Structure 1
């Protein structure tokens, strides 16, 4: 049974709606409505290619009529699995347009006139939808009743098919009755016969013939000699003891002086000569990558900029010139798209057949930009749905329509729903008023991700950025599994403590390491670190976690425990820019595991990924499709990208730059 059905204009006006239950009527009028959530989280973000949207136990499906700018929406309880919803949407769209097309055309034209200020805005109130759609309720009821009756008949037919006994099939005798007994025979067997059949089957699977005796050698068995002992059947007294002898590397044990000479991790006169080992301090900071200071004295990292600015727009414009498409179009995928766009000439209404080759070329282009195949399919389907039924005319109109649809779709997906200003979030928490009896908690950030993506390295880059903004940072070494993880963070802390802030030559006291060694509970260490930071007046706690694969359930449960116990302010997923299709699998399973396991281990709602940090960004040039894939999967923003080996190699992403790089050929 349906819960809600509505027909709306894309501008937000509801032309007709029907709720079938009191709960559905309440939900339809509230901000928590599944339909309102669909508009906020799917339609506005350009996720129009999804098969259905699920929210709070409801499933929502929809379809468009682009030329009339209409949205048809159906909501029902997810557990029901209604089979006729797709047919209902198709029939609704067809019948509603057939009955009321003249009224709808004039209504949409009046809205466009209002938006262009050609008529007064109060004229829109003169439309009487109840009177205009008189009789539609009867048509809808008849349509719905017919589809429900047909679904009920199909369900009864399936049940009769399942209940009907299957005809008996004759089984052919086995080729080898001695080694492959028929266990499915209807003839009664006594216990001895069953035991013999089972034993024969076991012997056949072992490949040892019809006799038992696992210690009989194959040579003896083939020659007809039974019970010939092999080396495995010899008594333990006759066997030689096979023990591994200890290897000796020297005549004398290693002394403390030997260990000291081999230890390169300790500080050795760094304060006196201004160097770290044999490396100059300046090698840790790339002056060309340093961020800028705002008027308020805040340190901001640089924006990532795409170097080939304007090339994509220039190319598409040249490719779509009459008679010049072949000369201007290279062998790239956008060149192919340009030639496909050129076919859509003249004034016409775009159909699915017209757009099919264009969308296929668009999908191949996105995949070449490292966009995951699943995401490329959905983006192209969404672009196609927004164009089907639109009237275009001439080269420039077609180019503008397709170009704007693709650019708009990418921009909607990449535009963050939440603020990416991490520094603002930190300062807001630290400056919020507290009761006099309550002690201020530090801002905590947890870094999670798979093995080897660069969590610890990029954590140190974020730490450098925080130190430059005069914040005291405590790094919690919660990777208690990987050998050298604590030592790696210790080196970073030592380096960061010697880099200057605002011209100073030393920043000791601004960053410290909190560690408890290896093999300990990471959740307990993180909790201790947060309490230590609270007592010592640290501003931020950066929690480093062990890398783990997204399919490893025990490790994902341990990570969810760390999240539920400590409730960090931000959970940042660290991923690679090179992963392509793997980004979808990694992020989906990380987010789902965190939400499921953290909600199961705590009374509150499960926590998911709050943002992403994409590493190795400097290795992909303009193939930045991983940003699109990651943002599409989670709906969360990319806060930073890592693009080098120094502490200043951190960048912010601008949506326009990413869209430009994706569209570039």
Structure 2
């Protein structure tokens, strides 16, 4: 393992270094100059270059940068604090006491290195196992119960009764996943049948495709407004953001003044301030003039946002699945922060695959959250009863356990899927806080072992500016050799036109959006309409 730290001037001249291995910084500085790094905020950047993870912090006159030879899931805020301390130490002591300065910088850097090594050593331990109940884990799906483990007494439940804390009486099991009425909807008895919006799908060349997102995000774009924008007049702009700056239309104004207005507009749409500033700076550099008209600036912004959201890789999953090698199912893993809707969107994918006559095996690798396996079983039972074709859908699970248990379950599921000729294995994973390095670290081991064909992160449309660090940390968690492949943005139906989180996540990682989730049923999933989203961000 190697790691190094340097302090350098804007010209690129290195004025302090810790460790002699500084040649890799050449490539990083080149990416910094060419603005290909990921900006975590306006003065803090990161990039993966030559299988090394670099971080760089800038103050008024200097840069401090460091790298590790293997990507570890470190909280980026800890890296930032370290680099900030290094810059302050250098600025204060470089002229008065060089020896003391060097010792303090070395101490700060080595403290961060030690934290990284501790997390790397802990990677194999996995997530903290959940507490076992007094009864053994039931045998669900295709798995067998875990053997050889002693059951431990369950913690007593208590409740307040008339101002006094008393032991709660066990009113019965809370797991209803095996209840007969679970299947009543599809069987036509008891509860009403599940209502699905089949209009979300369209058939083309014997394939069932998802429709583009449009209605959920609001009314279709106004053609008259578009015509007004094209000819540079303000006649078509009667409401929204452009009504506020209508006095600028038809006249050239200072580009910095217009830039400030557009930055405020983007931030109001949930785009992170640093991301909004970076977008506007690119536009200013492209226009390279001191004055500009608002319609010209808006068109440049529209082009830039369209470029950001337009995928530069194929998003045709059906094509990729059909051309997979024989003898192995196509493996897709779904990851994300707690509560974003991973299991729900995984079930939506499964339903879509079933409509295309593809057999699906869902693997329960969320072995941390109590009830996660049972939740997937409910989804699988519902999908079985909604499925009218010949394709199969089943659940593979091995109960609950720690990090090694997750890896083994994934391997067994893929082997089982190959043996039973499933087309697709969908792997659910435990939700985890993106800033908790201890919980994020096992993702690399999981990714190396399962080696999924695609890793999809589910992110919330309503998460706001924290989406930058969420996306970056999950993309980095799998190591230098691979990262996220796609995003599914959930809960788009809850945010109106505040869809800036999409820009945050895509711009931070260069990972495209595959689908967007728009509700709770299995057909509430759509392709992204780039034009519609851009229109909403600029109106």
TM-score interval w.r.t. the shorter chain? 0.5 to 0.7
Aligned to 1:178: none
Q: Is 1:469–2:350 an aligned residue pair?
A: no
Paired residues of 1:591 and 1:609 also in contact (CA < 8 A): yes
Return closer, same or farther for 1:445/1:37 CA change in 2, 3 Å cut-off: farther
Task: Provide the TM-score with structure 2 as the length reference.
Answer: 0.68
Q: Is 1:162–2:97 an aligned residue pair?
A: yes
Q: By how many angstroms is 1:338 displaced? A: 3.5
Q: What SS does structure 2 have at the residue aligned with 1:466?
A: helix
Q: Is 1:554–2:438 an aligned residue pair?
A: yes
Aligned to 1:361: 261
Return closer, same or farther for 1:575/1:277 CA change in 2, 3 Å cut-off: farther
Bigger Rg over Cα = 1
Aligned to 1:542: 426
Aligned to 1:424: 319
Alignment of structure 1 residues 102-501 onto 2, 5 Å: 160-163=95-98, 264-266=176-178, 268=180, 274-275=186-187, 278-283=190-195, 285-287=196-198, 289-294=199-204, 296-305=205-214, 306-311=217-222, 314=225, 317=228, 329-330=238-239, 332-344=240-252, 354-389=254-289, 398-429=293-324, 432=325, 440-501=327-388
Unaligned runs of 5+ in 2: 1-7, 13-22, 64-89, 102-155, 159-165
- Could you tell me which of 501, 506, 512 is aligned with 2:394? 512
Paired residues of 1:312 and 1:663 also in contact (CA < 8 A): no
Distance, in Å, in 2 between the alignment partners of 1:546 and 1:245 is 25
Q: By how many angstroms is 1:663 displaced? A: 1.5
Return closer, same or farther for 1:536/1:57 CA change in 2, 3 Å cut-off: closer
Q: What SS does structure 2 have at the residue aligned with 1:381?
A: helix
- Would you say how many aligned residue pairs link Structure 1 and Structure 2? 425
Q: What SS does structure 2 have at the residue aligned with 1:475?
A: strand
Q: By how many angstroms is 1:607 displaced? A: 2.4
Distance, in Å, in 2 between the alignment partners of 1:328 and 1:159 is 57
Superposed CA deviations along residues 340-396 of structure 1, whole A, max 9, x for unmatched, are 355516xxxxxxxx112211111111122121222111111111222232776xxxx
Distance, in Å, in 2 between the alignment partners of 1:274 and 1:53 is 51
Unaligned runs of 5+ in 1: 6-23, 60-76, 87-154, 167-243, 346-353, 393-397, 435-439, 596-604
- In terms of fraction of residues, the more helix-rich structure is 1
Task: Provide the TM-score with structure 1 as the length reference.
Answer: 0.56
Distance, in Å, in 1 between the alignment partners of 2:224 and 2:341 is 35
Aligned to 2:117: none
Task: List structure 1 runs of 4+ shifted beyond 6 angstroms.
Answer: 32-39, 49-53, 83-86, 155-158, 244-250, 269-273, 318-322
Return closer, same or farther for 1:312/1:627 CA change in 2, 3 Å cut-off: farther
Superposed CA deviations along residues 566-596 of structure 1, whole A, max 9, x for unmatched, are 111111111110011110121112222322x
Q: What SS does structure 2 have at the residue aligned with 1:585?
A: helix
Q: By how many angstroms is 1:165 displaced? A: 10
- In terms of fraction of residues, the more strand-rich structure is 2
Paired residues of 2:202 and 2:209 also in contact (CA < 8 A): yes
Paired residues of 2:362 and 2:395 also in contact (CA < 8 A): yes
Return closer, same or farther for 1:46/1:303 CA change in 2, 3 Å cut-off: farther
Q: By how many angstroms is 1:311 displaced? A: 3.2
Paired residues of 1:447 and 1:571 also in contact (CA < 8 A): yes
Q: What SS does structure 2 have at the residue aligned with 1:280?
A: coil
